[in-house]
Amino acid sequence: MVRGMSPGYLNSSRPYVPQPGMRSQPTAQFPRTRRQSLRIWWREIDRVLLLLVLALMAVGAIAVAAASPASARRLSGAAGSLGDLHFFWLHLAFQLMGLAVLLGTALVPLAAVRRAAILFAGLMLVALALVPFVGSEVNGARRWLDVGIRFQPSEFLKPAFLVASAWVLSWRLRDPELPVIAVSGGVLAVVVVLMMLQPNLGDAILIVAAWGALVVLAGLPLKRVGLLAGGGVALLALAYLTYDNARHRIDSFLGGGTSYDQVDLAARTIMAGGWTGSGLWLGTRKMMLPEAHTDYIFSVIGEEFGLLVCGLVVVLYLAIVLRVLSRLIDEDNLFTLLSAAGLITLFGGQAFINILVNLQLFPSKGMTLPLVSYGGSSTIAQCLTLGLLLAITRRNPYLLRETFALPRAAGDVR
């Protein structure tokens, strides 16, 4: 009880009126210990989503162990040989770092997520602009920066940019006349141009698709959605005519491929195991598959563990996507709705593009299978994406949240 307050105050329904010499309002401090804060976080976080993510990471560890011998032997030469489990041990180290990033990000409060996303997106945009000049080249693509450790700026820029864009688009709640889509779209255009210079057509398409989901949810009229979609098709046609990498991949896909084509080899590998697979380390077709531990790891899963396990992996991705969407059904905070929808579109879109490429149903894009493929930047960036999702979708039923009217959100946006 505050000093000077009458004992009957707590049982009175009358509003509190401060007395002379007293503080303007009764205050009470409830200091939290670190353990109490973690308990609150554990109650608020989506534990089902966290469990699904951990299960997918476990699948990834087993899959990289299966694919590691093929890639290690393929990359061994006169300069030295790699152990069969070389990529597996490295992948475990990357997974531990990614798990630390995931949990650390999930602990960040929502308000801090918005601020950090803007700063991080700006930093990664600068790094992306440096890639064409000082980046490292691998397999004909210049996508990495080497600053003691090698990382791919575009992987980290994608989730940060989408969260920052969601924050900008949510401004229309305060002023519907703000040109939020024009501002966000202008930055997106810069990002896409920088990605195409690497070249990185796959990530450019993916981030545009995720941004498109944001603006549709933000209330862009269907007429303008159609114009944006038509503009996207026109840009793809322009890329086909002027961009050798895109033209080669599309022609290879439409032509059905050859016995030496990567996508054709991946399709043959995934079918070689039948329904139940040949068994761990018993696959043979994977030894001819380029990038078995990264882009085509889904085919290795098919050969060694069978099509049934491939189906389970697809179900696991679907479960993660549907879990996030179900969490957003009754969401009344526009920023939370937009950012979570954009992030899950990014994550799910990359997963299913990779799977379709392995099934010879989509042109090769050079995308990894999220949380399953080997990779340093890829693994840590995907953990960052899911950590942001866990932080953004935290629920505290005792706190008021910003509300918005859906009919108004469906109106015209400038």
pLDDT value of residue 413:
45
Over residues 31-43, the mean pLDDT reads 79
Residues in a beta bridge with 145: 151
Burial string for 204-219 (b: 16+ CB within 10 Å, else e) reads bbbbbebbbbbbbbbb
Give the count of beta carbons closer than 10 Å to the beta carbon of residue 177: 9
Neighbour-count burial of 113, counting CB atoms closer than 10 A to its CB (0-12 exposed, 13-18 middle, 19+ buried):
buried
% residues pLDDT > 70 (the chain) = 82
Weakest-pLDDT range from 36-45, 55-64, 260-269: 260-269
List the one residue out of 410, 378, 373, 408 whose CA is nearest residue 297.
373
Least confident of 173-177, 209-213, 389-393: 173-177
Assign 414 a pLDDT band (cuts: 50, 70, 90): very low
Q: Is the pLDDT of residue 60 over 50?
A: yes
pLDDT value of residue 267: 81
Identify the top-confidence range among 92-96, 264-268, 280-284, 401-405. 92-96
pLDDT in tens, 9-26: 444 445 445 554 444 444
Non-local CB neighbours of 190 within 8 Å, separated by 6+ positions: 125
Q: 138 forms bridges with which residues in the sheet?
A: 141
Specify which of 4-13, 251-260, 275-284, 385-394 reaches the highest per-range mean pLDDT.
385-394
Mean pLDDT across 106-117? 90
Which amino acid makes up residue 259?
A: S
- Average model confidence (pLDDT) across the chain: 81
* Two tokens, residue 286: 């994977």
- When pLDDT is cut at 50, 70 and 90, the band that residue 182 belongs to is confident
Please give the single-letter amino acid code of residue 58: A
Residue-by-residue DSSP string for 38-54: HHHHHHHS-HHHHHHHH
Q: What is the pTM of this model?
A: 0.83
**Within 10 Å of residue 309's Cβ, how many Cβ atoms?**
19
Task: Compute the average pLDDT of residues 339-354.
Answer: 93
Ranges of H-type helices in 359-375: none
